[in-house]
Amino acid sequence: MPTSKKKPLVIVTRKLPDAIETRMMELFQTRLNADDHAMTKPELVEAVRTADVLVPTVTDRIDAAVLSQAGPSLKLIASFGTGVDHIDLATARQRGIIVTNTPGVLTEDTADMTMALILAVGRRLSEGERLVRAGAWKGWAPTAMLGHRLWGKRLGIIGMGRIGTALAKRARAFGMSIHYHNRNRVREEVEQELEATFWESLDQMLARMDIVSVNCPHTPATYHLMSARRLKLLPAHALIVNTSRGEVIDENALARMLKAGELAGAGLDVFEHEPAVNPKLIELENVVLLPHMGSATIEGRLDMGEKVLINIKTFADGHNPPDRVIATMF
């Protein structure tokens, strides 16, 4: 455990906001990634061999192969992000390495983006914008660019955690009825406030929804949760949006159904093999594709950095970090 007499060596895998990096340099021995390149596996291995604290991001694969080569001084992985599916938690636990994340600070930003995708897909905003930019718009017409109104539609939320609940509040303001599937039912007062309907069976919920939003984390239990079989349960007029993790949806099955008209549209901020995007999705007009920017606000990134600093400082002072990861569920 680092003592107060010796500042811990903190290695940061990507460029963070200037204010956060400056404060980190003041508090700790710090190695920054000035050119913001994505670290290779050998570079990550060297980092875990050397560091007292590693600060990775969601794009760094801190798997068993990397952690097995960690040096004895590595006792904290203070991840810059909420999701922890990029870290082998079981191996970290076996090696006595604490893992922290930055929960809560991205809730409103991600819920905003999810609502934006619902609007963009339902009202065909990206299609319309492309039409204008291409110089192909011939003027207003009664049957041109028809989408669907949101008012009165059923929204099915998969994963009613912080982000799912924040999304539900926004959707209520748009006149949508709220339905959700979650591992555990939310508190009765929350259900009453949102007028939300709980579905113990995900299959039964999907068959009745107009719009589905994926808001659960990626875990072994949620990999391809939206499988080809489940996607086929959705009505043909349904829309699906995902601002969680790409691995939750079977992308190939989704692309096939969208192309065949078996689903009306999709809005995706995350992808199964990102940064690679399935070329079948790129070809489709009825899909809005974003570069994993759901949490990309200045305020959110600063708040994330502050949480990382607090977790490291608390650990360095000999206390249990406030955002220690115990378990992941939805």
Supply 274's token pair.
């990102």
Kindly report the CA angle at 296 between 290 and 300, in degrees rounded to 5? 155
| 3-class secondary structure, 212 | strand
- Catalytic residue numbers read 245, 274, 292
Three-class SS state of 207: coil
**What's the distance, Cα to Cα, between the start and end of the chain in Å?**
33
User: Helix, strand or coil for residue 113?
Assistant: helix
Q: How far is CA 55 from CA 8, 185, 290, in A?
A: 12, 34, 25
Q: C-alpha angle with apex 144: 171 to 257, nearest 5 degrees?
A: 60
Q: Is 37 exposed, middle or buried (0-12, 13-18, 19+ CB in 10 A)?
A: exposed
d(CA 219, CA 158): 14
Pairing of strands 177-181, 211-214: unpaired
Q: Counting beta carbons within 10 angstroms of the beta carbon of residue 143, is it exposed (0 to 12), middle (13 to 18) or buried (19 or more)?
A: exposed
- Three-state DSSP class for 20? helix
- What are the b/e assignments for 162-198, b being 16+ CB within 10 Å? bbbbbbbebbbebebbbbbbbeeebeeeebeebebee
Task: Classify strands 98-100 and 154-158 as parallel, antiparallel or unpaired.
Answer: unpaired
Assigned token pair, 103? 């929960």
